Amino acid sequence: MGKYAFVACLGKYSIVLDAGSSGTRAHIYRWPKKAHKGAASKELEQLPHIETTKEWTKKIKPGVSTFAKKPEKIGPDHLHDLLKHVHGIIPQGAVEDTPIFLLATAGMRLLPENEQKQILHNICSYIDDNSDFLLPDCDAHVKVIDGKTEGLYGWIATNYLLGGFDEPKAHNHGKSHHTYGFLDMGGASAQLAFAPNSTEARKHANDLTLLRLRTLNGQSNDYGVFVTSWLGFGVREARSRYVKALLKGTPGGTVDRKRPDPCLPDGLRTTLEGTVLPPDGPVAGTDPYLVGNGKFEECLRETIPLLAKDVPCEDEPCLLNGVHVPAIDFDVNHFVGISEYWHTTHEIFEMGHQDKAYDFKTYQTRVKEFCSTPWSSIKEGIEQKKWGKVDQETAFEVCFKAAWIVNILHDGIGIPRIGLEATPSHGKSGTEQLAEHGKHGKQKGYLDPFQAVNKINSTEVSWTLGKAVLYASSQVPGPKGGLPVGFGSNVPGKIPEDFEYPSSNHPHIPAPPSSGKNGTSEHWHDSLFDGESSRRIPGLLLFGLIVLIVIFFLFGRERRSRIYHKLGLRFGRGNGGSSPRRKAPFFRGKIPFFSRRGAGTSYERVLEEGDHPEFELGSMDSDEDSQSSLSPTSAVMGSRPVSRSHHLQSPKFNFDNSSSLSIASNNNSMDRRGLVIRTESRERLFPPALAPTTTGRKSRATSPIRHSTPLTNA
């Protein structure tokens, strides 16, 4: 069943719960974690191989939307059996790594937002409390998806199964086109998805959705897909609109409650809601009821207005209900229809007609024959299993559904009527053409304008498979700096702002105005605290250091001084006549803000407190100090004079901040910065009794303003 040789224990799983309008279906998908080392390069150019079986699927009724008034019951009354089913299939060791998704469709879209939220909240709580499946974020894993997303997933599933992704050359339809269109119809909505031809793709680029998938070799492939959805155009909602129009078109003043319905088999009586009534006798109640006359051609005419083709089109071209759709090139766009397209064209007729071919002429003839059959004869055929497992409800609904499907396909979307309209069939009938294509289906897929399918290569075609393919593709490691898997606005080669990742394991970080390396960018907060970031630990350490520094400087000077003492940053008075020296803090003098008052004010403190003999004078450029002089330290302590040499370094000043170097009592302007400070400090540091008299001139208390060059004598 697999494409490659894989180690079975390395398989990964995902669960997708399709919460539709009529029920919820659980799907389980499995794929290998990685291809085996000997896989050929051609195999590595393909998407991960997804596996599923019929036994892995389970459906229960009714739909989750029916729990709008009792959301607290949705867990025990609806989800319990589904969770029990999937737990029985997925190996226990793989449960915690298996993501679970519940994606609700059209039935939930029809509910008010507050009712949707309440239902989703109860679903998430129940799954989280009653299973160990991977559910990191309810907003990403349990939600209502819009019709476009549903259609896109279906398009992925169809092309994945037909080989449009993995073998593009084998599915070349001409004009460099190798993908298939997708049609889906449920009870409430209908979807259409296709890749326009190159001309239409350029013309309507802004209307396309960017889809990015990743093959096993890490290569990303982008696709531009047009997707649209029509809410209210599913068979159940269309039937409801039809009945309302039928009653509205009844002439006023009608006393008889019986309403003829050409879309019901001849002689069938039902309520407006579709409940079958006894064939004879009076009908209790006051509401009108319907009586079928089996006139299928009239049914076709009565359902055409439901297409809403007369709604104004604001963006040409349009199809149904004024919705813009790029022109469809049926030479290269071949559509595959699932769900109601399959059930309505096959369920009644599959047993009686083994060819399973669809063409307009053949199909319409068969439906017309069936619907004109008296209801009593149809009931007998149901009891005799003439149409397999078909029940009464399916049988009496097929006439309206068939008319609706035919009108959607041909009058709505514009698919050529095979059997009546000219098609590139080279003179062969529609049925013959389909049969011939079937012989080569494995090589070329479906080349007809439309073909209804249920399974491809023994796998059911479902939009849930598309979700699984997208998720599995995202689990393939990509190249460094590669673009992520997902979909969003059509901005090729980039990550659109509305880009949607396959799961919460791939969160979307909006790009700030300035981009980083490889065209991506990160917010500092995410870089520091995101668990996936390689810079998380050093980032946290840096952040903690910054916090400690800020707190340290908030303590105040005195408290910082006490911290210095406690940390042993000062030495006591030494022995042997050495001067009391302060051990400077490690950073002082190297980084200005680590000193007590900054670079300038530390020197000012020395001048004001001359009794601390820690200031050493070094050589100066001044001619007044060219002679050798005693260091203040040696003079005070009675040590022998020490000649000034290159080993004694003068203190470094911040020449750009002269205000911090000036003495408050002197407002002199200085040409030779530092001279005033050095002479002033020397005088103040020597008490009169100890002032040297023979070692050179005594410096003046202040220096006059000098307008001469630095070499001019005083």
Active site positions, annotated: 150
Distance between CA atoms of 267 and 95, rounded to whole angstroms? 54
Cis peptide before 317 (omega within 30 of 0): yes
Asked if residue 277 lies in contact with residue 270, where contact means CB atoms within 8 angstroms, the answer is: yes
Per the structure block, which two tokens stand in for 464? 């849930």
Q: Which two tokens stand for residue 564?
A: 């210095």
Judged by DSSP in three states, 477 sits in: coil
Token couple for 609:
């407190």
Q: Cα–Cα distance between 268 and 280 in angstroms, integer?
A: 10
* Distance linking the first and last C-alpha atoms of the chain: 103
Closest CA to 272 of 251, 252, 250: 250
Strands 455-456 and 450-452: unpaired
List Cα–Cα distances, 450 to 3, 167, 168, 326, in angstroms: 28, 21, 20, 18
Distance CA 507, CA 529 (A): 14
- Give the Cβ contact number of residue 380 at 10 Å: 11
Give the β-pairing of 450-452 and 142-144.
unpaired
Q: Is residue 439 classed exposed, middle or buried when 0-12, 13-18 and 19+ CB atoms within 10 A define those classes?
A: exposed
Bridge partners of residue 289, in order along the sequence: 258
Q: In 3D, which of 204, 244, 411, 187 has the Cα closest to residue 320?
A: 411
Q: Which of 170, 175, 67, 172 is nearest to 123 (CA)?
A: 67
Measured distance CA(413)–CA(320) in Å, rounded: 8
* Residue 156 near residue 223, CB atoms below 8 Å: no
Instruction: Report whether 179 contacts 185 (CB < 8 A).
Output: no
Which sign does the torsion angle of CA 162, 415, 309, 290 carry? negative
Contact 663, 677 (CB under 8 A): yes
Instruction: Give me 43's structure tokens.
Output: 């195999």
> What is the Cα–Cα distance from 585 to 171, expressed in whole angstroms?
76
Q: Nearest to residue 405, comparing CAs of 353, 458, 347, 355?
A: 347
Gap between the Cα atoms of 31 and 10, Å rounded = 9
Is residue 262 within 8 A of residue 294, CB to CB? The reply is yes
Question: CA angle at residue 38 from 36 to 43, to 5 degrees?
Answer: 75
The closest of 161, 163, 153, 176 to 103, measured between CA atoms, is 153
Contact at 8 Å (CB) between 63 and 23? yes
Contact 270, 302 (CB under 8 A): no
**Residue 400, burial from CB neighbour count under 10 angstroms (0-12, 13-18, 19+):** buried
Which three-class secondary structure state does DSSP give residue 214?
A: strand
Distance between CA atoms of 212 and 525, rounded to whole angstroms? 28
CA distance linking residue 497 with residue 246, whole number of Å: 46
Contact 502, 514 (CB under 8 A): no
At a CB cut-off of 8 Å and minimum separation 6, what does 84 contact?
Answer: none
